[in-house]
């Protein structure tokens, strides 16, 4: 079965994935239902891709690196001298990276973010599925869910779930 690149992400009603300063408290304060399907999703992937800013934020959490059991890639032009041992730093062609990953046997690929990397993936038409959770809050200035110069692309609704105040939509590219 062909591996898919899946963007699994939450956004505010006004389409932001983080406040301007990177704060995510608006999301954590949203009444939801446990993990909102996150752990079930993580069982269907074995690879993660994230940008450098997101990687740095994950390392800044006061918990062990959460993706040790996965094959991890960080897309950056400024790789640290010493990175996490379970991470491969990639500078360059994301199309080549995704093509190589899809040629390998494995589960699906989790595109974590952040905003700049999502824009690059959309511009190169590399997102196969989108699982978008919407929190009922307007946060104003912040990091937009989608930016960049991507072409029109249609998705078909595959599943719709409600986790208390959070609505989650699963779309598959047509």
**CA separation (Å) from 132 to 94, 99, 129, 170?**
22, 24, 10, 6
* Mean per-residue pLDDT, 18-39: 87
Cβ-Cβ contacts under 8 Å for 57 (sequence gap 6 or more): 22
The CATH number assigned to the domain holding 28 equals 3.40.430.10
d(CA 106, CA 99): 13
Residue 40 has φ and ψ, to the nearest 5°, of -65, -40
CA angle 2, 86, 131 (to 5 degrees): 45
Q: What's the domain range around 118?
A: 5-173
E strands, 20-145, are 45-51, 71-75, 87-90, 108-113, 129-135, 142-144
Average pLDDT, the chain: 93
User: Does the structure show a pLDDT above 80 at 59?
Assistant: yes
Confidence at 22, pLDDT banded by 50, 70, 90: confident
Greater confidence (53 vs 102) lies with: 102
d(CA 162, CA 174): 24
Q: How many domains does the chain have?
A: 1
pTM of the model: 0.93
**CA separation (Å) from 163 to 11, 166, 169?**
14, 5, 11
Is residue 96 within 8 A of residue 72, CB to CB? The reply is no
The helix or strand, by DSSP H or E, that contains position 159, with its residue range, turns out to be strand 155-163
d(CA 91, CA 99): 15
């Amino acid at each position: 079965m062909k591996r898919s690149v899946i963007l699994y992400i939450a956004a505010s009603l006004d389409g932001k994935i983080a406040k301007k300063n990177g704060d995510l408290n608006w999301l954590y304060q949203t009444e939801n239902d446990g993990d909102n399907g996150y752990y079930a999703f993580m069982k269907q992937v074995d690879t993660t891709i994230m940008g450098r800013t997101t990687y740095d934020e994950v390392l800044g959490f006061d918990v062990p690196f959460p993706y040790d059991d996965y094959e991890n890639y960080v897309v950056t032009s400024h790789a640290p001298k010493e990175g996490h041992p379970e991470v491969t730093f990639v500078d360059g062609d994301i199309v080549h990276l995704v093509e190589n990953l899809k040629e390998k046997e494995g589960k699906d690929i989790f595109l974590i973010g952040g905003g700049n990397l999502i824009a690059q993936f959309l511009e190169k038409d590399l997102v196969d599925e989108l699982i978008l959770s919407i929190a009922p809050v307007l946060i104003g200035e912040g990091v937009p869910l989608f930016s960049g110069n991507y072409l029109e692309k249609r998705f078909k609704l595959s599943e719709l779930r409600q986790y208390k105040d959070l609505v989650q939509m699963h779309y598959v590219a047509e």
